[in-house]
Structure 1
Amino acid sequence: MREFQRGAVRLHILHHAAEEEIHGAWMTEELASHGYRISPGTLYPTLHRLEADGLLVSEQRVVDGRTRRVYRATEAGKKAL
């Protein structure tokens, strides 16, 4: 992914995670609706990097019998916007 697009995707993720909890499958669909074609192999490392940088936090939840990791923005993530 090109650097400009990578930055735009990160901002998009932070924007939504600051408003509500997000998860990877939903974020993939949301990004696609804005013209970003991002594979899980690109999205999940981006989410993990944002978490490692202290901009997101995550937790696992069971939804409909399946484990899902949900993310939300930290205060630092909100300030980064």
Structure 2
Amino acid sequence: MEDKVLRKLFLGFIHIHILHHAKEHPIYGTWMHDELQEHGYEISAGTLYPILHNMEKDGLLLKKERNVEGKIRKYYTATSKGEEILVQARAKAYELFKEIKD
């Protein structure tokens, strides 16, 4: 039960993390997966790729396909809407952190 609750909470953090990096530079699935794992998120490709697709569908990410060594790689960057959402999410996260830090 606890794992299910934590998973729901962490999914929001993962969305914020994706937007943060997609604002800094174009990201792709494998890179983002590795980045999330570095921060302790246990996420499968079967979870990450639908998140990326849904964020694109919601207008938060823009996808561009590039040929990399003969394979098509999908790169994502934050849209202006995604950047606005990130600003709001950072403010809320900061406010929450200040409240719960002690």
TM-score by length of 1: 0.96
- Structure 1 residue 33: Cα displacement: 0.1
Q: Structure 1, unaligned stretches of length 5 or more?
A: none
When Rg is computed on C-alpha atoms for both structures, the one with the higher figure is 2
Give the match for residue 41 of structure 2. 36
Give RMSD over aligned pairs. Answer: 0.9
Identical positions, percent: 51
- Larger relative helix fraction: 2
Higher relative contact order (CA 8 A, sep 6+): 1
TM-score by length of 2: 0.77
| Distance in 2 between residues matched to 1:40 and 1:3, nearest whole Å | 17
- Larger relative strand fraction: 1
Size of the aligned set, in residue pairs, is: 81
| Distance in 2 between residues matched to 1:3 and 1:52, nearest whole Å | 20
| 1:8-34 residue CA offsets vs partner (Å, 9 max, x unmatched) | 000000000001000000000000000
Asked if residue 75 in structure 1 is aligned to residue 55 in structure 2, the reply is: no
Q: Which runs of 4+ in 1 moved over 2 A?
A: none
